[in-house]
Amino acid sequence: MTSIAELPLSIQISKKLEDDIIYGFFLPGTKLDEQELCERYGASRTPIREALKLLAAEGLVEIRPRRGAIIPTINSFTLCEMFEVMAELEAMCGRLAARRIQPEEKQELQRLHHLCQDYLNQNDSENYYEANRLFHFAIYQASHNSFLIEQACALHKRLHPYRRLQLRVNHRMNHSFSEHSEILDAIFSGNEQEAEALLKAHVVIQGEKFTDFMATLDHLKI
């Protein structure tokens, strides 16, 4: 697996800028000045512009004609609604994967699960997230429903900055890995209803889980 430091410069910058947006260094409504970004991230305009395009595709940045890049206003309720939809899509992927997964796909899921465990043991939330992301994408692929895969991947891409942040909430990485283990057992045993329920609970943010998540966002903006 490619480490963060080995990724193209534009992607490295996009991840740093992504964190700065989520952590509140750049507040909603802020106009991003390319020269200031060049100085902050030690890069030329070309990778900065490429990074902005990547974040625009995820909805974290809006690129407006003659106005440049702007941080859009983040609505916590919309964010919660997006997680609700993501949970339903992933639940469907889990149910179909339990029915349709192939032997080689089981091996790949198991490999990614072990990779998550390695990063958990190292307390490396960044690389854990990357392995976790591939783990979820592997479940999508195992559903063998191309339209569902397309929709799940698109929404996951939109939400991934916030899913990364979730892993920095106290003990979330440990809980995530434990939940992955249960999800694997359900899928591998062909238990469709269990896989569906576990994935939905794994992704949705509600009740205390949502409160803790929003409190983390608020704390990081202070």
pLDDT band at residue 95 using 50, 70 and 90 as cut-offs: very high
pLDDT cut 90: percent of the chain above it: 57
Query: Average pLDDT over the chain, rounded to whole?
Result: 87
pLDDT cut 70: percent of the chain above it: 86
Going by C-beta distance under 8 Å and a sequence separation of 6 or more, which residues neighbour residue 93?
139, 140, 142, 143, 145, 148, 149, 152, 199
Alpha-carbon torsion angle 214, 164, 122, 215, nearest 10: -10
pLDDT at 211: 64
CA distance 155 to 141: 15
| pLDDT tens for each residue of 35-91 | 999 999 999 999 999 999 999 987 889 998 878 899 887 677 888 888 899 999 999
Write the CATH number of the domain with boundaries 76-220: 1.20.120.530
pLDDT at 178: 95
Write the CATH number of the domain with boundaries 4-70: 1.10.10.10
**Domain definitions of the chain by residue range:** 4-70, 76-220
pLDDT at 18: 85
**What is the crossing angle of helices 192-203 and 172-188, to 10°?**
160
pLDDT at 65: 83
Identify the three-state secondary structure at position 62: strand
Question: What radius of gyration, in Å, describes the C-alpha atoms of the chain?
Answer: 18
Chain centroid to Cα 137, Å, comes to 11
**Which of 74-83, 90-99, 112-121, 122-131 is the least confident region?**
74-83
pLDDT band at residue 222 using 50, 70 and 90 as cut-offs: very low
